Amino acid sequence: MRIFEIKLRQEEDFKPLREIFSENNEKYLFSYLQRLTGEQIKSHLNKEIFPFYAQILSRARLVFKQNLPQKVQDNLVLIEEVFANSSFSTNVQSGNMSEIIGLISEIDETTILKTDILGDAIESSLSETGGTQDIGLYRTPEHIRQMMVAITNPTFDDIIYDPACGTGGFLFDAYHYCIEKVTK
């Protein structure tokens, strides 16, 4: 959600979507979660945010007559898939939930857009518990992933298949490689 909000604010392709998140709908943005107490966050996620994002592409198409750029549509499809059957349940204490939201909010925007946050978080937590060997989890180091992506030289026209996807590190690096190639 934070990544989407940053793209919404910064990227020109996402500009048409800003209308959906006007003052009346700002409650669907990640930044709104900072205004809530830990107790309110879980309820807000399940009752407001998840249902909204589960239908975001449909909502966007209702608001806009023109076609949205393919990049935006692809992002919205991914968001819908993530939120479609989601519900948030946790045994995290409510005070900690507010703290987690606050910590995520403090991450630099440039960093959050260019980092495999999920992979980093999983690797960090598993390395602290020693759980990676027990479950056969191995993460390819970033420099090796980037070298392999550079060797394959992917483009946006390519279909990329990663059968051992894990946290999507290779896919993430391939996506950023393509973006960097286009923007140069």
pLDDT digits (tens, 9 = 90+) for 94-153: 667 788 888 888 877 776 666 665 566 656 655 555 555 555 556 677 788 889 999 999
pLDDT digits (tens, 9 = 90+) for 79-106: 787 777 766 666 556 667 788 888 888 8
* pLDDT, position 165: 73
Among 117, 142, 165, residue whose Cα is nearest residue 3: 117
Supply angle C-alpha 23, 27, 30, rounded to 5.
115
Q: Where are the domains of the chain?
A: 1-107, 114-184
Phi–psi pair at 154, nearest 5 degrees: -70, 155
